[in-house]
Amino acid sequence: MTRLRAALGRTTFGGATLSLIGLLLALLWLVPLAWAVDTALKPEAETTVMPVSWIPSEFTLEAFRIILGQGDIIRWLFNSLLVASLVTILTLALTSLAAYGFSRTTFPGRRWLFAAVLAGIMVPPQVLIVPLFDEMRALGLVDTYWGMILPQLVAPAMVFILKKFFDGIPRDYEEAAELDGASRLRIFWSVVLPMSRPILAAVGIFTFISAWNNFLWPFIVITDPEMMTIPVGLYSVQGSFGVRYAQTMAAALIAGLPLVILYAILQRHVIRGVGQAGLKG
Amino acid sequence: MAVHTAVRQTSAAAPSDTTRTQPLLSRLGGLWFVLPFVIVYALFMVWPVLTGLWSSFFNTSLAGGDSEFLGLDNYLEMVRDDAVWTSLWHTILFTLLSTPPLVLLGLVMALLAHRARRLGWFLRFAYFAPFVLPVTVVTLIWIWLYQPGFGLINDALTRIGLSEVAWLTDERVAMIAIVLTTTWWTVGFNFLLYLAALQAIPRELYEAASVDGSSSFQQLWHITLPMLRRTTGLIIVLQLIASLKVFDQVYLMTGGGPNFSTRPIIQYIYETGFTSYRIGFASAISYMLFALIVVVSIAQFKLFPAREESAS
Amino acid sequence: MRPTHTPYGLSRRSLLAGTAGIVAGIGLSACTADDLIGNRTRVRYWNLFGGGDGARMTQMTDAFIESRPDIDFRATTLAWGAPYYTKLAMSAAGGRAPELAILHLSRLGGYAPGRLLDPFPLDMLAELGITQDRFLPDIWNRCTVDGELYAIPLDTHPFVLYYNVDICREIGLLDSNDQLIPLSGTDELIEAFVEARRVTGNLGVSLSTGDVSPWRLWWTLYRQLDGELFDESGTELILDEERGLEALEFMRRLSIEEEVAPRGADYQAAVANFSNGQAAFLFNGGWEVTTFQTQQVPFSMTTFPNVFGNTNRTQGDCHCFVLPHQRNRDWDNTRAALEYVAYMLQNSVDWAAGGHVPSYLPVVESPEYLNLTPQSHYRHAAENVQLDPDVWFSGSASDMESQASGAFGAVHAGTNTPQEALDQFRGALQRLLDTPSPV
């Protein structure tokens, strides 16, 4: 009995039963995705038969073929990738520079400016959709990539998290580099950033996920279907006609699986990142 | 890792004193670091906040044309408009219904996954994977699951002898359906926060308790849960604020229906501003919501201060 | 001690590669999709045909694209309803709208002609054979605002009755020509639905209680009762309580008392229930012809039954082409768009195969169209189609329709009594009337 317990893991909470419950819950949690995959692989006519069954007369990739053939979804994947990547890179750059500035330098008005930036954490972007759209319209940025990207760079919470992290780094390394004559920027780049890789990875991963999945703002600022990102395009464009559940699920999977696979690969980093953010927050 | 322990043990020092004696220009050097972010921040957060407030006093229309100054008329209309208050109520109801399961289930999942060895990777994958899906994918899948007749959930219900539920077309259950979907989608984040916190609890505490002969349940109650108090506070705060901003999944699953029974306040803002073209009026409502969220945020940060606690 | 290299190898090469990547990304993102395309005449066309007629539209558009390789033509179908109209308005407000779009005629008044929409150049149209005399005068007039033409009608689409031929034959509702015998009056209709339900085991008649279908059904019934909503000037509400209730009571009878219609079904489910034989009848617009033909459902169609009198009165609307506002209009692109419009009109018998009644008189009067079945069975309904009243907040997928459908859909569900629903709708209408028009 004890060997079994050992195999199933530590037993502070009564291992075997709990492992079973955990496993069942995990399987239950995967059912929606599994059902989506199953539906996408069925012939269209069999998706709505009753009673419901998991095994169709044949499995087929027809739905995927049709969706991919329509071309829109490839375009949207490209848009999502472009926008999410740029948002992530630029956010990391802007927020880490700003956090370093607030943490290590001093200039007139520093405290006041930092407080002003912090105040922004309380402003929910959803509340700004109306004036932001008006502003984009005035700037001629409706239906452009920059129109999508720029408002997403406003990440005061990241500045806060990064500043806190920088505050905690011992200054010895930087002071040594300063004595060697390195400029502030160079110190930032060569000394501080490399030491911050875990937190930067965390910020980067979460920014990427949130930019990729952002629905509301791209939904507002983009009306041209060719410019849409995945979440918006999937909703706005009716590629298939009539009741086509297999195709709908196929499109959903093509849109959703890339990030799931990415998560499976990067799981360790994601978990560490959330942990960092949570413990520091 | 060495860097992390170093981080934990040193305290933050004030910026080096040598900079105070430097000439003004190089003191301003620090400004260059923050300037790029601050410019973006000013342009795309501060400016819209101000212009939003400004247009709330006019009858600006999406369709162009002249805007007249209305004074406080938009705000007065907002107070008298039932739809503003019912949709605000829907948002609050969503928050009240979704927060308990999202917090409790996240905790349960973390407890289950914490001790798992070989299963650990699988559990962490299953519980968190939905979180990385875009909202459109989540809602497409769940709308499909909720269908009457050939939908998987209703099929399961009828197989065990219960009657079907009109998940998305019955006013009485639509909000619950949305809460269920939201739970599936986002509980993973709370799960991870709890997991990290659990892993930070020193094992010695449990070992000492075991030696003293306490049961697993007692350990859970007297050690684990109290140690998680700060994390729970954080999670509740984040959850409440996020729920007040709900829009996406409601809009995608029910469009605010049936019969407007699930329409959240953000959707109403969207409809007045963009569907009915009344930008000025929509701005007034946005401001009311903004003020509300600020009040709630401040209240919460006073109740759950975000401070590092020592593990003693 | 100074670190001589980073633990993670941020070498010069990766720095250069990273910078190059960023610069490329920024360069790319500075342009929009348009700039990447090139210099052919370009037409972007938005429509909202997601039902069975969508397949038809795609077919016809593809044929046009093939015949005109000199035009870079891109058609996009957006989700029907408020999302489509909101998106179109926002893109017109942003000044980068598509060259051509579809609009329901009932929405024209509320779409700020002159600001969100640009007028058609009549001379160019005449060159392409699109002139006033080729359309019904009532419709053409409604397309004209302040002396300028803002819409070109493509079709009219009334609310119709689909029926499953096999099931109706079984319950003896077909005449010697295998067509549905005319059903009139509430009792006769209910009786037919009850019989149908006996055969299907589930529903008699399928309908949607979501989207805007409840409005369509109610407006049809209300107009058959001669009910009106607004006075001549469009500023006063003259909703007839008795007639409004009578219409709602019939809807309630269908779903709650006789249980021949569903209490809750979204649009997709409504269509699916008819195609998989769970119901023998369907109340819907005529655009699902292609869907049912593809799925080989044994069906036919006819005008909506005479429930309360005034047989040919049914709710309906017209699809029109419009020119959304563009800040810098390219006239070559516009001309190409008009050539597409002319093509669609001249070939609208193909469009009619998808279920709509063409507006272009030369086609409507042609033998080809008159031979189309089951489409020609309901063409007379188009002559007397009941568009939404002409006020700025009405029209297909408008706020008024969603308010109505919300309230009336709840009657099907049983959560609103007819009185409650009518009161709710009356309140919504009054509020809309009191709101200053933003157009």
SS (H, E, C) A100-138: HHHHHCCCCCHHHHHHHHHHHHHCCHHHHHHHHHHHHHH
Q: How far apart are CA B208 and CA B201, in angstroms?
A: 13
Chain A contact set for C31 (CB, 8 A): 145
Check pLDDT > 70 for residue C162.
yes
Phi, psi of C129, deg, nearest 5: 85, 15
> Smallest Cα–Cα separation from B133: which of C116, C335, A72, A257?
A257
Domain assignment of residue C438, yes or no: no
Exposure on the CB side of residue C419, measured as CA atoms within 13 A: 0
Kindly compute the dihedral angle of the four CA atoms of residues A76, C210, C221, C231, in this order, to the nearest 10 degrees: -70
Domain assignment of residue C253, yes or no: yes
Same domain, yes or no, for C45 and C110? Answer: yes
* Average pLDDT for C264-275: 88
| Nearest residue on chain B to A262, alpha-carbon basis | B132
| pLDDT on residue A3 | 53
Indicate the pairing of strand C148-149 with strand C144-145: antiparallel
Q: Is C231 helix (H, G, I), strand (E, B) or coil?
A: coil
- On the 0-12 / 13-18 / 19+ scale of CB atoms within 10 A, A9 is buried
* Average pLDDT for A25-50: 88
Which residues of chain C from 202 to 261 reach within 8 Å of chain A, CB to CB?
none
Phi, psi of C181, deg, nearest 5: -70, 145
Contact indicator for B33, A101 with CB cutoff of 8 Å = yes
| pLDDT on residue B27 | 57
Q: How far is CA A100 from the centre of its chain?
A: 24
Check pLDDT > 50 for residue A281.
no
Which residues of chain B from 239 to 268 reach within 8 Å of chain C, CB to CB?
257-260
How does the average pLDDT of chain A come out, rounded? Answer: 83
Check pLDDT > 80 for residue A244.
no
Which of the four pLDDT bands, split at 50, 70 and 90, describes residue B255? Answer: confident
Task: Please state, as a whole number, how many other Cβ atoms lie within 10 Å of the Cβ of residue B178.
Answer: 27
Q: How far apart are CA C292 and CA C120, in angstroms?
A: 36
Domain assignment of residue C69, yes or no: yes
| pLDDT on residue A91 | 96
By residue count, chain A amounts to 281
With a CB cutoff of 8 Å and minimum separation 6, the contacts of C47 are: C57, C75, C76, C77, C78, C101, C102
Which of the four pLDDT bands, split at 50, 70 and 90, describes residue A258? Answer: confident
Q: Is A228 helix (H, G, I), strand (E, B) or coil?
A: coil
Alpha helices in C171-295, H assignment, sequence order: 186-200, 213-224, 241-252, 267-275, 289-294
| pLDDT on residue C29 | 54
| pLDDT on residue B4 | 42
| Count of domains forming chain C | 2
CA distances from B247 to B109, B135, B239, C213 (A): 26, 10, 14, 25
Q: Could you report the per-residue pLDDT of B68-87, keeping only the tens digit for each?
A: 888 888 899 899 998 999 99
* Average pLDDT for C226-254: 91
Query: Could C96 and A226 be called an inter-chain contact, meaning their C-beta atoms sit closer than 8 Å?
Result: no
- On the 0-12 / 13-18 / 19+ scale of CB atoms within 10 A, A273 is buried
* Average pLDDT for A59-63: 88
Contact indicator for C154, C382 with CB cutoff of 8 Å = no
Phi, psi of C293, deg, nearest 5: -65, -45
- On the 0-12 / 13-18 / 19+ scale of CB atoms within 10 A, C131 is exposed
Phi, psi of B51, deg, nearest 5: -65, -30
Domain architecture of chain A: domains with CATH: 10-61 (no CATH), 65-280 (1.10.3720.10)
Which of the four pLDDT bands, split at 50, 70 and 90, describes residue C4? Answer: very low
User: What residue has token string 């009067």?
Assistant: C365
| pLDDT on residue C22 | 60
| Nearest CB neighbour to C269, from listed B147, B171, B278 | B147
Same domain, yes or no, for C133 and C24? Answer: yes
* Average pLDDT for B197-208: 83
How does the average pLDDT of chain C come out, rounded? Answer: 86
Q: Is C211 helix (H, G, I), strand (E, B) or coil?
A: coil
| Nearest residue on chain B to A125, alpha-carbon basis | B45
Q: How far apart are CA A101 and CA A114, in angstroms?
A: 10
Check pLDDT > 60 for residue C51.
yes
Contact indicator for C389, C222 with CB cutoff of 8 Å = no
To which H or E segment does residue C317 belong? strand C316-324
Residue A118 contacts B where some CB pair is shorter than 8 Å: no
Domain assignment of residue C439, yes or no: no
Q: How far apart are CA C204 and CA C163, in angstroms?
A: 10
The pTM of the full predicted model, rounded to 2 decimals, is 0.80
How is residue A69 annotated by DSSP?
H
Same domain, yes or no, for C132 and C171? Answer: no
Which chains form contacts with chain B, at 3 or more CB pairs under 8 Å?
A: A, C
Check pLDDT > 80 for residue A115.
yes
| pLDDT on residue C150 | 94
Same domain, yes or no, for C218 and C271? Answer: yes
CA distance A126 to chain B (A): 7
| Nearest residue on chain A to B288, alpha-carbon basis | A127
The CATH number of the domain holding residue C296 is 3.40.190.10
- Say which residue, C95 or C420, is predicted with more confidence: C420
Check pLDDT > 60 for residue C35.
no
- Say which residue, C309 or C221, is predicted with more confidence: C221
Residue C8 contacts A where some CB pair is shorter than 8 Å: yes
Phi, psi of C274, deg, nearest 5: -80, -40
| Nearest residue on chain A to C91, alpha-carbon basis | A223
To which H or E segment does residue C164 belong? strand C152-164
| pLDDT on residue C137 | 85
| pLDDT on residue C17 | 55
Q: What is the maximum alpha-carbon separation in chain B?
A: 82
Q: How far apart are CA B78 and CA A62, in angstroms?
A: 51
With a CB cutoff of 8 Å and minimum separation 6, the contacts of B108 are: none
For the CA atoms of chain C, what is the radius of gyration? 25
Chain B contact set for C90 (CB, 8 A): 62, 274
- Whether the complex's predicted ipTM is more than 0.95 is answered with no
Same domain, yes or no, for C119 and C231? Answer: no
Chain A contact set for B32 (CB, 8 A): 101
Q: In the structure encoding, which two tokens stand for residue A108, read together?
A: 């007139």
Query: Could A190 and C3 be called an inter-chain contact, meaning their C-beta atoms sit closer than 8 Å?
Result: yes
| pLDDT on residue C309 | 76
Q: How far apart are CA B260 and CA B265, in angstroms?
A: 11
Check pLDDT > 60 for residue B24.
no
Residue extents of the structural domains in chain B? 73-311
Q: Could you report the per-residue pLDDT of B128-161, keeping only the tens digit for each?
A: 999 999 999 999 999 989 988 778 898 888 889 8
Q: How far apart are CA C412 and CA C214, in angstroms?
A: 9
Query: Could B260 and C413 be called an inter-chain contact, meaning their C-beta atoms sit closer than 8 Å?
Result: no
Q: Could you report the per-residue pLDDT of C358-415, keeping only the tens digit for each?
A: 999 898 888 888 888 788 788 877 777 888 988 888 888 888 998 999 999 999 999 9
Same domain, yes or no, for C132 and C252? Answer: no
Q: In the structure encoding, which two tokens stand for residue B30, read together?
A: 């620090």
| Nearest residue on chain B to C266, alpha-carbon basis | B169
* Crossing angle (nearest 10°) for helices A72-104 and A145-152: 40
Query: Could A101 and B34 be called an inter-chain contact, meaning their C-beta atoms sit closer than 8 Å?
Result: yes
- On the 0-12 / 13-18 / 19+ scale of CB atoms within 10 A, C177 is exposed
Which residues of chain A from 225 to 264 reach within 8 Å of chain C, CB to CB?
225-227, 235-239, 241-243
Same domain, yes or no, for C306 and C339? Answer: no
Phi, psi of C102, deg, nearest 5: -95, 145
Mutate to test the interface with A, among B115, B283, B308 (most CBs of A within 10 A): B115
b/e string for C325-360 if b means 16 or more Cβ within 10 A? Answer: bbeeeeeebbbbbbbbbbbbbebbbbbbbbbbbbbb
Check pLDDT > 80 for residue B91.
yes
- Say which residue, C107 or B119, is predicted with more confidence: C107
Same domain, yes or no, for C41 and C175? Answer: no
User: What residue has token string 């059902």?
Assistant: A35
Domain assignment of residue C52, yes or no: yes
Contact indicator for B94, B264 with CB cutoff of 8 Å = yes
* Average pLDDT for B15-33: 58
> What residues are paired with C101 via a beta bridge?
C46, C322
Question: Which DSSP string do the residues of A45-61 spell out, in sequence order?
Answer: GGTT-SS--S--S----
Which of the four pLDDT bands, split at 50, 70 and 90, describes residue B170? Answer: confident
> Smallest Cα–Cα separation from A62: which of A187, A271, A244?
A244
Task: Please state, as a whole number, how many other Cβ atoms lie within 10 Å of the Cβ of residue C146.
Answer: 8
| Nearest residue on chain C to A174, alpha-carbon basis | C2
Sign of CA dihedral A132, A133, A134, A136: positive
Q: How far apart are CA B140 and CA A235, in angstroms?
A: 9
| pLDDT on residue C1 | 39
CA distance A222 to chain C (A): 8
Containing domain of residue C338, as a range?
Answer: 4-156+318-370
Q: How far apart are CA B49 and CA A129, in angstroms?
A: 10
Chain B contact set for A33 (CB, 8 A): 129-130, 141
* Average pLDDT for C117-135: 91
Query: Could B29 and A184 be called an inter-chain contact, meaning their C-beta atoms sit closer than 8 Å?
Result: yes
Chain B contact set for C210 (CB, 8 A): 169, 257-258
Q: Does domain B73-311 have CATH number 1.20.120.10?
A: no
Phi, psi of A123, deg, nearest 5: -90, 115
Same domain, yes or no, for C302 and C219? Answer: yes
